[in-house]
Chain A
Amino acid sequence: MANTDAGYYQRLIAPIEDRMMRTIWRIVRDTDDADDALQEALATVWKRLERIRSHPNPHAVILRICVNAAYDLLRRKIRERRRRELHAIADSRADTKPSARDVLSHEERETEIFDAIARLSRNQAQAVLMRLVQGQCYSDIAQALGCSEATARIHVTRGRARLRKLLSHLAPHPLKEVP
Chain B
Amino acid sequence: MKNSENNNHEIDRILEMTRHVETPPHIEQRLRERLAAFRERLDARERSTATAQRQLFSPTRKLAWACVVTVACVAAAVVASFLLTAPRNGVYAAAMEALKSVKTVRISGWSLYPEQQFYEELDPSQHYPLEIWEWVTENRRYRQYYREGHVTEWDDGERRYRYHEQRDELYVSLSTVSKRPMRAQFEKLAAELGEFVQRGYTRTDLGERTIGESQAKGVRLEMPERARKEAWFDTTTNLPIEATEYVWKDGAWLQLSEGTIVYDQEVPIRISGYAPPKAKQTHYDSSIDPEFERYNLHLRRLAARYHEAPLPDRMELAPREVEEKMESYYPGRLPDIKTHWVRPIHSSLGSYLRTGKWAPHGTLRMPPDLQNIKLNHDLIVKYGVSTRERNEFVLNSLGLEVVEVTEDRKVWVAHYDGRPLKPWEQVKAPVPREDPRAPIGPGMASVFGPFSMVELFEGFAYGQDYDLTATGLVIVDETGLATVRAEGDSKKSREAAAVSNESPRWKGDESVEIARRWFAEQFGVTFTEDTRPMTVYVVRKRNAS
Residues of A within 8 A of B (CB): 2-3, 7-9, 13, 17-18, 20-22, 24-26, 31, 34-35, 38-40, 42-47, 49, 76, 79-80, 82, 85-91, 94-95, 97, 99, 101, 106, 108-113, 115, 128, 132-135, 160, 163-164, 167-178
Q: Does B12 contact A (CB under 8 A)?
A: yes
Q: 5 A-B pairs, CB-CB below 8 angstroms?
A: A8-B43, A35-B30, A113-B14, A167-B11, A168-B4
Q: B468-512: which residues lie under 8 A (CB-CB) from chain A?
A: 505, 507
Q: Is B388 on the interface with A (CB-CB < 8 A)?
A: no
| Complex contact B15–A132 (CB within 8 A) | yes
Distance between Cα atoms of A115 and B436 in the complex (Å): 10
Among B30, B31, B283, B289, the one with the most A-chain Cβ atoms within 10 Å of its Cβ is B31
B10 within 8 A of A: yes
- Whole-angstrom distance between the alpha carbons of A164 and B1 in the complex? 11
Question: Are B439's CB and A95's CB within 8 A?
Answer: yes
Beta-carbon nearest neighbor of A88 in chain B = B355
Closest 8 pairs (CB-CB, A-B) = A99-B438, A132-B15, A171-B7, A94-B439, A25-B23, A2-B50, A9-B39, A26-B18
Query: Which residues of chain B from 117 to 136 have a CB within 8 Å of any chain A CB?
Result: none
CB contacts under 8 Å to A, within B40-72, are: 41-43, 45-46, 49-50, 53
Given the known inter-chain contacts A2-B49, A35-B30, please indicate yes or no for A177 contacting B1, CB distance below 8 A: yes
Other A-B contacts than A109-B14, A178-B1, 16 sampled, CB-CB below 8 A, are: A8-B42, A8-B43, A9-B42, A25-B24, A46-B38, A80-B327, A87-B447, A89-B505, A99-B437, A108-B437, A132-B12, A163-B11, A169-B434, A171-B3, A171-B10, A174-B3
CB distance from B114 to the nearest CB of A (A): 20
In the assembled complex, B16 has its CB within 8 A of some CB on chain A: yes
Q: What is the CA–CA distance of A135 and B46 in the complex, to the nearest angstrom?
A: 32
Main secondary structure of the interface of A (DSSP, over half): helix
Which residue on B lies nearest to A12, using beta carbons? B42
Question: In the complex, A48 Cα to B435 Cα: how many Å?
Answer: 40
- With a CB–CB cut-off of 8 A, which chain A residues contact B270? none
Known pairs A13-B38, A42-B38; A170 contacts B3 (CB<8 A): no
Contacts of B448 in A (CB 8 A): 86
Q: Does B339 touch A at the CB level, under 8 Å?
A: no
Give every chain A residue within 8 A of B15 (Cβ-Cβ): 113, 128, 132-133
Question: Are B31 and A86 in contact (CB-based, < 8 A)?
Answer: no
B287 to chain A, nearest CB (A): 10
- On chain B, the residues within 8 Å of A97 by CB distance are 437-439
CA distance A87 to B351 in the complex (A): 13
Residue of A nearest to B15 (CB): A132
Q: Which of A43, A88, A132 has the most CB of B within 10 A?
A: A132
The answer on a CB contact under 8 Å between A39 and B3 is no
Contacting residues, chain B, for A43 (C-beta < 8 A): 283, 286
- Nearest neighbor of A173 in chain B, beta-carbon distance: B3
Task: Please indicate the chain A residues that have their CB under 8 angstroms from the CB of B11 in the complex.
Answer: 113, 160, 163-164, 167, 170
Interface residue B321 (Cβ < 8 Å from any Cβ of A): no
Contact indicator B50/A3 (Cβ below 8 Å)? yes
Interface hits, B277-297 → A, CB 8 Å: 283, 286, 289, 291
Beta-carbon contact of A85 and B21 below 8 Å = no
Distance between Cα atoms of A20 and B23 in the complex (Å) = 10
Q: Is the CB of A44 within 8 A of B286?
A: yes
CB proximity of A14 to chain B, nearest CB, Å: 8
From residue B345, how far is it (CB to closest CB) to chain A in Å?
Answer: 14
Q: Which residue of B lies closest to A81 (CB)?
A: B437
| Residues in B320-365 with C-beta less than 8 Å from chain A | 327, 355
Measured between beta carbons, the chain A residues less than 8 angstroms from B35 are 13, 17, 20-21, 38, 42
Contact B3 A172 (CB under 8 A): yes
Across the interface, B4 reaches (CB within 8 A) one of A18, A24, A35, A171, namely A171
Cβ contact of B21, chosen from A8, A26, A176, cutoff 8 A: A26
Known: A46-B42, A90-B439, A115-B437. A177 touches B4 (CB 8 A): yes
Cα distance A27–B448 in the bound complex, in angstroms: 31
Chain B nearest CB, measured from A131 CB (Å): 9
CB distance from B507 to the nearest CB of A (A): 8
Instruction: Tell me if B440 is interfacial: C-beta within 8 Å of chain A.
Output: yes
Q: Which residues of A contact B437 (CB under 8 A)?
A: 97, 99, 108, 111-112, 115
Give Cα A44–Cα B42 distance, bound, in whole angstroms.
13
Can you name the residue of chain B whose Cβ is closest to the Cβ of A93? B439
Contact B12 A133 (CB under 8 A): no
- Which residues of the partner chain B approach A111 to less than 8 Å between Cβ atoms? 437
Distance (Å) between the CB of B325 and the closest chain A CB? 11
Q: How far is the CA of A64 from the CA of B346 in the complex (A)?
A: 37
